[in-house]
Chains A and B, each alone.
Chain A
Amino acid sequence: MSAVATYFKDIFQGLKTLLTGMKITGYYFSHARKEIITQQYPENRDTLKMFDRFRGRVVMPHDENNEHACTGCSSCELACPNGSIEIMWERIVDPETGKKKKIIDKHVYHHSMCTLCNLCIIACPTDAIKMEQTFEHATFDRKELTMILNKPGSKVRKDVEE
């Protein structure tokens, strides 16, 4: 093909592909209502619901009597790859049997070191901890990311086996 013919062919092909691209763009422009998937965050905060398996952070659910299911067995501490969980326990004398036993004092969770891998949740024999679906966790102070999961004055639920 002569140079002139190639030159014009290139121009026409260029125009053709330009139009093909514009056609697709035009389709999305005219079908915006159907095709746009963008969400307006944070305006939709109230309606935004995360999936129930979403891993936001580790929490310990408490019931209405301020009781939880954590026995302080340290399985979660051992399972954690990053050392994000520290179990602090104390020995008390059981008032009923008079025997000494170990109970949980503080379940310390370092959110800043947690990779949200779910291994602690799986390791817990009593299902005392679970993942919460929140995600707005930014804070101004790093200290706020270290949490004590068991609430002050909380106890272990009676029916939980050691």
Chain B
Amino acid sequence: MTEETLTKEGLKTQEYFVNMGPQHPSTHGVLRLMLELDGEIIKKVIPHIGYVHRSIEKMCEKDSYRQIVHITDRMDYLSNHMNNEAVCLLVENALEIEVSDRVKVIRTIMSELTRLSSHQLWWGVMGMDLGALTTFLYGFRDREMINDIFEETCGARLTMNYNTPGGLMFDIHPNFQRRVKEFVAHFKTKLPEYDALLSDNVIFRNRTEGIGVLSKEDAISFGVTGPTGRASGFSNDIRKHKPYSAYDRVEFKEILMETGDTFSRYKARILEMWESLSIIEQLIDNIPEGEIQSPAVKAVIKLPKGEFYQSVETARGELGVYVVSDGTKNPYRVKFRSPGFSNLFVLNHLAQGYKIADLVAMMSTIDLVIPDIDR
């Protein structure tokens, strides 16, 4: 609390703290933000994290490399497939094993489907945060089709554990290609609806345009990656800069915006959905034949002594996995560089001088997933 001051009318005024969260609908989880307020103007945002800390990194130290994959589902549960892929790619690179083209293509399709489903959910809750419940229902309706595809092929809707070091757990389901094509055709008719409902809405525009501007320099120095950073013009797409899986054989644009305000972060994700659809379309008809599990990976995986790093592009930004191996079947140390953690701490910088309602809009477009921040 600061000192009381007197306004010119002679009223006493004072800065004060308000806790936003840990149970606040717009934090999308158990995140507590301490807001230092002057009236309704935000002076400072202090994030308090750790409410869903499960010490995943420590748990990884007791697990074998096969078992680590399934824990990563629980970090950023909306980018589950990419998290799995990151660990698998790390193990494959460390063992110097090349997986078949079939595995690469299927992994890429799955990752893009995950990105779409994550962005659909984000779009739904973004509308809801700003007071439009309709978008929530529409976003979840389209996400349901992707969840069905996952359920049929991977056996689960959220914690899929479909990638294994050296390949995939099962081959794709016979219905997979048909269903994905149906989904792409369906979603292409629905995505313009998203624009009509929200992107062109006057109220929505007024609440997002020019709010919370993040400059390119700040995006780089805060380490803001993913669509949030690209909306400020910071080119950081791992799929482009360090292509993995089948991203080097598809054509897609890295979505870069200039203004860096809340609306351009919104727009970047909408445009990314179109890119994801185009990547899926390019691959779905030419899934090459090949084995789905590389025989070079043994039942007990031992990485050579040393340090390994692998990064992938999740729906929220760059996920890095860093493993120190001492040559045994368990890693000596695992560290995840999660995109949500870096993106969260830009909030204080963005929100200063804005109102609480603007903070909700900014938080939505940063697209926070709390288990990813806490791990």
Contact = CB atoms under 8 A, between A and B. Distances in A.
Nearest to A55: B155
Contacts of A20: 196-197, 200-201
Interface residues of A, number: 24
A10, A21, A51, A79 — most chain B CB neighbours (10 Å): A51
Interface in A56-86: 79, 81
Interface stretch (A89-97, A99-107, A115-123, A145-153): A115-123
B201 A17 contact: yes
B196 A81 contact: no
Given A17-B200, A17-B202, A21-B201, A119 B155 contact: no
A53 B152 contact: yes
B161 A53 contact: no
Interface in A32-58: 37, 50-51, 53-55
Given A17-B203, A81-B70, 18 more contacts: A10-B202, A14-B203, A17-B202, A20-B196, A20-B200, A20-B201, A37-B141, A37-B144, A51-B155, A53-B151, A54-B155, A54-B156, A79-B66, A81-B63, A115-B70, A116-B159, A117-B159, A122-B164
Given A21-B134, A131-B155, A117 B70 contact: yes
B156, B169, B170, B197 — most chain A CB neighbours (10 Å): B156
A117 B161 contact: yes
Interface string B337-357: 000000000000000000000
B193 interface: yes
Contacts of B70: 81, 115, 117, 119
B123 to A, nearest CB: 14
Interface of B: 63, 66-67, 70-71, 134, 141, 144, 148, 151-156, 159, 161, 164, 169-170, 173, 193, 196-197, 200-203, 299
Contacts, number: 64
A118 B164 CA distance: 11
B67 A119 contact: yes
A137 to B, nearest CB: 15
A117 B158 CA distance: 11
Nearest to B293: A122
A37 B190 CA distance: 15
A5 interface: no
Contacts of B63: 81
Contacts of A17: 200-203
A53 B171 CA distance: 11
A51 B161 CA distance: 17
A21 B197 contact: yes
A122 B293 CA distance: 12
A31 to B, nearest CB: 13
A118 B161 contact: yes
5 contacts: A14-B202, A17-B202, A24-B196, A25-B134, A51-B151
B112 to A, nearest CB: 21
Interface string A119-150: 10011000000010000000000000000000
Contacts of B159: 115-117
A24 B299 CA distance: 54
A119 B66 CA distance: 8
Contacts of B196: 20-21, 24
Contacts of B155: 51, 53-55, 118, 131
A25 B135 CA distance: 11
